[in-house]
Chains A and B, each alone.
Chain A
Amino acid sequence: MYDHLNHVQQQFKQREINIELQGFKTVTTQPGVLQYHIEAYNEYLLLTNSRVLPIGTRILSDTNSVEISSGQRRTEGLEEFSGLVSIELPQGTNYFPIIEFIQIVKE
């Protein structure tokens, strides 16, 4: 059974990154606002609920960027972002989800 938290712990150990704090961060989106910015300097944000995001949502950061497609809306789509993270919902969407991340603060 795929376990997000277990996967994160294992992968960061493989990458020799020590974790100072593991937590959660959410971004609540709302009608009328399509762009959101979060600061994730010296930390990592791992997207856990890509499958509920509207297709065409773009998440751009200093280290990784994705555009949500049907192929990305799967449980294993645990994309990682760091630095300044920008979230852009697609024009014309009428669905405004809560976007959930696992937050990893490194040593």
Chain B
Amino acid sequence: MLVTRYSIVSLRVQKPGEIISFQHKIPAYLKRCTGFKLSLVGALDSKHLNTELGRLSVSFNSLKEEAITASLKQEELGSQDFQELEVQLHPGQIVSGVYVDTMLGEDFTPYKVQLYLRCTDKEGQTQNEKG
């Protein structure tokens, strides 16, 4: 039976231009990450609807694979489903990343970004199996 688990990384942005680094561990029994989703917690002024809130980059397997580079727009986050990801996980390795707030206005209000990682315990296909 296929097991799917979701990991959540929460990033609390408290000042304009803030840079937040994080490290996260995915349980060792999970073999593959197949998707990611970003969501925004907390309401921002509607004038920020179309502007970029920040940028996120994430690497997997203890800096071996740079797999996510994403820009956050409030307007797009609401309707966005999981985006595809194809990362084979090495057991017990670190997921690390950095978020940079790019909202540099004076009317900044604190907000929280959640990164959801969808991972399964099923190995992915190798190149030979695909071919």
Contacts and interface: CB of A to CB of B under 8 A. Distances in A.
Q: Do A and B come from one complex?
A: yes
A17 B69 CA distance: 20
B59 A66 contact: no
Interface in A16-49: 16-17
Q: Is the interface of B mostly helix, strand, loop or mixed?
A: strand
B50 to A, nearest CB: 22
B61 to A, nearest CB: 8
B12 interface: no
Interface residues of B, number: 12
A94 interface: no
Given A63-B59, A65-B100, 17 more contacts: A14-B62, A15-B62, A15-B64, A16-B64, A58-B17, A58-B19, A60-B19, A60-B100, A62-B57, A62-B69, A63-B57, A63-B98, A64-B21, A64-B57, A64-B98, A67-B17, A67-B19
Interface of A: 14-17, 58, 60, 62-67, 82
27 contacts: A14-B62, A15-B62, A15-B63, A15-B64, A16-B64, A17-B64, A58-B17, A58-B19, A60-B19, A60-B100, A62-B57, A62-B69, A63-B57, A63-B59, A63-B66, A63-B69, A63-B98, A64-B21, A64-B57, A64-B98, A65-B19, A65-B98, A65-B100, A66-B19, A67-B17, A67-B19, A82-B66
